[in-house]
Chains A and B, each alone.
Chain A
Amino acid sequence: MKLLAKTNRIYLAFSLVIYLLTALAFYQIIRYLIYDEVESRLQIERRDFETYVRIHNTWSSSPYFVENKIEVAPVSQPPTSRRAFFADTLIQNRYDDELIPFRQLTFYVPIHGTLHRVSIRKSLIQTYRLIEAVTFTMATFLGLLLIGTFWFQGKLSGRIWLPFYNTLSRIKHFNLNSEAPLQLATSEITEFNELNEVLQKMADKMRQDYQSLKEFTENASHEMQTPLALINAKVEQLIQSEQLTEIQTHWIQTIYEASRRIVRLNQGLLLLSKIENHQFQGIQLIDLSQLLVEKLQDMEEVLSFKELTVHICSHDSFEAELPVALADILVTNLVNNAIKHNQSGGFIELDSSNEFLCLRNTGGTLVSEPQRLFERFKKEGTGTDSIGLGLAIVKQICDSYELSISYKETQGNHQFRISRLLPADSNKMIT
């Protein structure tokens, strides 16, 4: 959730609670005031009634009381309490059958020696109207105020936070690979300026480090490859000489193999760091499934030499976005792995769909832990010529280009499955 949406939501909830509480309190206060007013008038009328009864010792409908509803009735049995009390009641209007709210004061008065119960009522209809009117007006204006403040708050914070969002989008689009440094606009707000300053410093440092790392990678590549080329060339020349004894041949062969290993190791590590640094450009949509089929065809002789059969269950295109060179390396390493760790007479099975790419092969059971298979220098068996970087490179390529790779082994069937990372996660980060 966005920062502003979140604060606005909290603000809205809080305002609504306050709004409801205020409305309720307001209603109660007005009601209390009105009741107080009505009740004090009823008390006065009660006193008038009692004075009248005391003086005249009788009761008859007097024009004085005409506008009031008054009800006098003798009580046959004495009530439990003689105290006067107020109550709300509804009385039917005799003209239009409507129930009208009344406030009623009930008390007991002896007339001619018999106890009478007297109820004086006052219509609340006017006061109810008043409460309604007041409540409605208040609710409307408070509501308008609420919406107004809310709208204003949204606009204001949108404007105030604008530099922050600008910074955010700049950082999002900041690319270490591109030559352009990170540029952030200054704003009026100190905190944002400080944030920008810190980010700017970090980005500059990162760019510097990245540049030097890149330079180092390239220099290391050159500095190491050249002496290695020299060693190889000299060894190859040595091999050409005629007068080698068998033991000398053996030494030369060992030196040659060792230097070839260093070459491959060096190339593998350079490749890994280059992928990590995103130094590969030219991302394209590539059908990995098709590429895999082509690679398997390329390796036809090797496959038939190892007596491996290839089953293609389905090769619906599985497309991924990555640099061409890396797609080739990815596929080559997978195929090499499937061939190398296979057994004579085994098979390689390709299964792919729009969603995934799956390469299965027969082979011996795994000695090491399956989850460590993608680690660098993790080799199955010590006797092989492998340098143990092939699958680490595969993993690194997948990690760098939003693909996921998983490995599963069941009874000597090894399965590598590549699928796309769900775009949901990346979307969450963008919005």
Chain B
Amino acid sequence: MKILVVEDEKGLAESITDYMEKEGYICETATTVQEADEKIYLYTYDCVIVDLTLPGGDGFQIIQTLKQLVVTTGIIIISARNALEDKLKGLEIGSDDYLTKPFHLSELNARVKSLLRRRQFGGHTEIRFQEIVVVPQNRKVYVNHQLTTLSRKEYDLLLYFLSNIDVALTKASIAEHLWGDNIDSADSFDIVYSHIKNLRRKLIEKGAADYVQSIYGIGYKFSQS
């Protein structure tokens, strides 16, 4: 799986590639429109993460070029612009997702995974982690081949964990993933706790091991060890 990160802020590009590489992707970066164009013409990527405001042009140009060359490449825009027009324009010319800066790396990762799944298998693939199997197509979860009924938020939470295995997830990123940017109260962290508790209980009831670790003060980690 190859990913191209087009971002002029070197530090941010570095963070994204580090994070993605840990997830097992091959990452390349480009900092200008020209550089991005060169790479696009030379290689094929599964997913391109592109910033809109770039030296030497606009991220929209890259998306347009990409759409002419390879139709199967997934495109995620990351931008500080959060105007609705930009989002609509981005989606209209063929990007698959739009993430407003600043975002959580874990959120970006979850979006990339979900996008690749949709692109490559049409959502037909199953996500497996030990005894847990998730079928995204019909939003079903099986533990030890038994169907486990999860609420909508619990399902989203599980998927978020499965996209970020062995990664410490902050409570803020979990709350925002589940309820969007608008959840801005301190209480939201308590409710994250209550959802994690429920999810954990439901998984354990069906015979799964307890994979959720609590990291003091920060959040949670879904991990085998």
Interface residues of A (CB under 8 A from B): 218, 221-222, 224-234, 236-237, 239-240, 246, 249-250, 252-253, 256-257, 260, 263-264, 267, 274, 279-282, 298-299, 301-302, 305-306, 323-325, 329, 332-333, 336, 339-340, 384-387, 390
Say whether B44 faces chain A, with CB atoms less than 8 Å apart. Answer: no
Q: Which of B19, B81, B167 contacts A222 (CB 8 A)?
A: B81
Q: Which residues of A contact B82 (CB under 8 A)?
A: 221, 267
Say whether B102 contacts A232, CB under 8 Å: yes
Partner of A301, one of B18, B101, B103, B191: B191
B131 at the binding interface (Cβ < 8 Å): no
Provided the pairs A230-B15, A250-B217, A305-B191 are in contact, do residues A236 and B81 lie with their beta carbons within 8 angstroms?
Answer: no
Task: Please give me the 8 A-B residue pairs with the lowest Cβ-Cβ distance, nearest first.
Answer: A229-B102, A225-B80, A233-B15, A385-B186, A222-B80, A229-B101, A332-B182, A225-B101
B179 proximal to A (CB < 8 A): yes
Q: Could you jot down 9 A-B contacts, CB within 8 Å?
A: A225-B101, A246-B217, A249-B218, A256-B172, A267-B181, A333-B182, A384-B185, A385-B185, A390-B184
Cα–Cα, bound, A252→B167 (Å):
16
Q: Are A299 and B179 in contact (CB under 8 A)?
A: yes
Task: Select which of A224, A230, A252 is within 8 A of B218 by beta carbon.
Answer: A252
Bound complex: CA of A332 vs CA of B183, how far in Å?
9
Closest to A222 in B: B80
Question: Quick check: B185 and A226 within 8 Å, CB to CB?
Answer: no
B148-198 at interface with A (beta carbon < 8 Å): 151, 153, 167-168, 170, 172-173, 179, 181-188, 190-191, 194-195
Is B147 engaged at the interface, CB distance under 8 Å to the other chain? no
- State the Cβ distance, A395 to closest chain B Cβ, in Å: 17
Q: How far is the CA of A332 from the CA of B179 in the complex (A)?
A: 11
B216 at the interface (CB under 8 A from A): yes
| Residue ID in chain B nearest A234 by CB atoms | B15
Give the one of B16, B19, B184, B219 with max A CB within 10 A. Answer: B184
Contacts of A227 in B (CB 8 A): 9
B12 touches A233 (CB 8 A): yes
* B91-122 contact mask (Cβ, 8 Å, vs A): 1 or 0: 00000000011111110000000000000000
> Are B151 and A301 in touch, CB under 8 angstroms?
yes
B183 / chain A contacts, CB cutoff of 8 Å:
302, 336
Instruction: Tell me which residues across on chain A come within 8 A of B184, comparing CB atoms.
Output: 264, 336, 385-387, 390
Q: Which residue of B lies closest to A223 (CB)?
A: B80
Contact between A239 and B186, CB atoms less than 8 A apart: no
Q: How far is the CA of A224 from the CA of B102 in the complex (A)?
A: 10
13 other A-B residue contacts (CB within 8 Å) besides A232-B103, A280-B84: A230-B15, A230-B102, A234-B11, A249-B216, A253-B217, A267-B181, A301-B153, A302-B179, A302-B183, A323-B84, A325-B84, A332-B182, A387-B184
A301 to B170, CA, bound (A): 19
Q: How far apart are B165's CB and chain A's nearest CB, in angstroms? A: 12
- From B11, B173, B194, B215, give the contact of A230 (CB < 8 A): B11
Q: Is the interface on chain B under 10, 10 to 19, 20 to 34, or 35 or more residues?
A: 35 or more
B170 to chain A, nearest CB (A): 7
Those of B210-225 within 8 Å (CB) of chain A: 215-219
Contacts of A237 in B (CB 8 A): 15, 18-19, 105
Decide if B85 is an interface residue (CB 8 Å cutoff): yes
Q: Determine whether B53 belongs to the interface, using a CB cutoff of 8 Å to chain A.
A: yes
Q: Determine if B170 and A256 form an interchain contact, defined as CB atoms under 8 angstroms apart.
A: yes
Contact A228 B172 (CB under 8 A): no
Chain B residues with CB under 8 Å of A305's CB are 187, 190-191, 194
With a cutoff of 8 Å between Cβ atoms, the chain B residues found around residue A390 in the complex are 184
Q: Are A253 and B15 in contact, CB atoms less than 8 angstroms apart? A: no
Q: Given A236-B170, A386-B185, are A253 and B218 also a contact pair (CB < 8 Å)?
A: yes
Q: In the assembled complex, which residues on chain B have CB atoms less than 8 Å from the CB atom of A340?
A: 185, 187
In the assembled complex, which residues on chain A have CB atoms less than 8 Å from the CB atom of B218? 239, 249, 252-253, 256
Measured between alpha carbons, how far is A240 from B219 in the docked complex, in Å?
Answer: 11
Give the complex CA separation of A223 and B111 in angstroms.
24
State whether A229 and B12 are in contact (beta carbons under 8 Å apart), knowing that A221-B80, A221-B81, A237-B19 are contacts in the complex: yes
Whose C-beta in chain B lies nearest to the C-beta of A295? B182
Question: Within the complex, what minimum Cβ distance (angstroms) separates A229 from chain B?
Answer: 3
Are A339's CB and B185's CB within 8 A?
yes
Complex CA–CA separation, A282 to B172 (angstroms) = 32
Across-interface contacts of B151 in A (CB, < 8 A): 301
Query: Complex Cα distance A301/B182, Å?
Result: 15
Closest beta carbon of chain A to B84's beta carbon, Å: 5
From the candidates B84, B85, B102, B185, name the one contacting A263 in the complex (CB within 8 A): B102
A225-B80, A305-B190 known; A233-B185 Cβ under 8 A: no
CA distance in complex: A65, B206 (Å): 142
